[in-house]
Chains A and B, each alone.
Chain A
């Protein structure tokens, strides 16, 4: 083990180096460019055996990655925002072909207006594409999650996006504990592939046309693969924990056991929320945080178990759902809770769009709102935090 200071970009690039994928096809975009740059240097210096494909667009990055994975290679890439959006069409193909690929994504908002800063609109745009999605809180988790994702994707035969907040994580130095190269190799093991188009002696046809008679069956199979991912993720996470001492779960509960109010949140804001909870706890408030790490698969059971019995919950979305109601995390948490008996009163908060800073006092205001509700006041079901009126 080595203790170093790394940004999330650097940490993910280091994880990629240690994973030593067969193929990386990537295209630059702020703020994930650095991952591609650092990795290119690893290639140039012979620190990896990777075939690096400097494609002419993210559409081609995702296409080349998908082709390479179908050829039995271990494949990774990195992107952000518009890049992820340009990949959209391909991103629906990869999981349907059941190919394990890992994308290191840096969460940056989508145009327009063009803006290079943090929010989750880019990955939220891909939430129904069939990729697993893991949101991380810090550089350490970014590093660990990328390594775990290799194992998870190759057991589930589904691809995964590991995403870290733009600049807040991608460009700020944090202390991380790095594993030894051999430990990483030993943990991820030999690459597993569901099939390979390079097997010319056993030719297969990948990506055929379905008519009305088979499309539904194929999609049902793909959906089942996603349904089966929670135990795989937990198993890999547990093994990682046993070996290296860090475990994350599908969600993380923070001071939730005796709480009556909680914030549900993803990404780096979870750290801020924990601080706020610590402060409020000193004043005797019974507050907690649920950090959602895996947004896909949707951790319905874990969410319900942790929120059951709570009285007031605020769900924080760093993305606008544009449905005239609530954003994705809010609507999904709310819909999960429908099936439990003791449902909390639940409110949605849209925050931090386009990199708008979220300070502890902002999150304190959210708890204050919940307190107002507790005292009988009415507030809006969905609220905007930190926007000028």
Chain B
């Protein structure tokens, strides 16, 4: 995560950031406080409500299917588990 800090001559003009979405280099997964979401794939109906409610864009969806979580970014807020209409997501304690 630790990127080399650039000197003033190396920075783009006008203090802009020219790499869209570069925050993906900044991992927020270690913000979780002892619990993480886990998906029960058997129950999941792929309604994608978890996906539309995730503040951290941390739900993996591909080919219309809920595939799990980006644990590198998931902050463990628990909204997905709270909102899943059929209880297919559970917040479980994380081992260190």
Give A residues with C-beta under 8 Å from B: 96-99, 157, 194-195, 202-208, 210, 213-214, 216-218, 220-221, 224
Contacts and interface: CB of A to CB of B under 8 A. Distances in A.
B1 interface: no
B5 interface: yes
Nearest to A197: B16
Q: What's the dominant secondary structure at chain A's contact region? A: loop
15 contacts: A96-B15, A97-B14, A98-B14, A157-B14, A194-B14, A195-B14, A202-B20, A203-B20, A204-B17, A204-B18, A217-B7, A217-B8, A218-B11, A220-B8, A221-B9
Contact of A204 (B5, B7, B11, B16): B16
A205 B16 contact: yes
Nearest to A216: B8
Interface string B1-35: 00001111101011111101000000000000000
Interface range for B = 10 to 19
B8 to A, nearest CB: 4
B17 A221 contact: no
A202 B20 CA distance: 8
Contacts of A97: 14-16
Given A218-B11, A221-B11, A213 B5 contact: yes
Nearest to A195: B16
Contacts of B16: 97, 195, 204-206, 208
A195 B9 CA distance: 18
A203 B5 CA distance: 23
B19 to A, nearest CB: 9
Given A217-B8, A221-B8, A99 B15 contact: no
A290 B77 CA distance: 67
B11 to A, nearest CB: 6
